Amino acid sequence: MPIDPKRHAELIETLETTGLHYHALGVAGALKAASSVEGTTPGELAAIAAAKAAWEVADKALADYRASKLSGGPRIRN
């Protein structure tokens, strides 16, 4: 099955957006931890973890989409 350029672009954009968000929160958290007495709060750590999880989901969605198009069918995981 051919790759749908629109769907492929949407998946790439989602991956880029979630990755940038995760990295921005991570850098902000690291800078705050290094420059303040109180460090990173549990809420900020939770936001970083949620952003990382969203990025991982987007990465898997893109990988699965590409694999399904290359193999001609859905990707099955055990």
- Taking only the tens place, the pLDDT of each residue in 8-24 is 999 999 999 999 999 99
Q: How far is CA 3 from CA 29, 37, 40, 63, 69, in A?
A: 38, 51, 42, 12, 6
Q: Is the pLDDT of residue 56 over 80?
A: yes
Q: Which of 26, 24, 22, 5 minimizes the C-alpha distance to 56?
A: 22
Question: Do the Cβ atoms of 40 and 29 come closer than 8 Å?
Answer: yes
Give the per-residue pLDDT at 16: 97
Instruction: Give the pair of three-digit tokens for residue 9.
Output: 């672009």
Give the per-residue pLDDT at 37: 86
CA dist 77 and 66 (Å) reads: 14
Confidence of residue 36 (pLDDT cuts 50, 70, 90): confident
Mean pLDDT across 62-75: 80
pTM summary value: 0.79
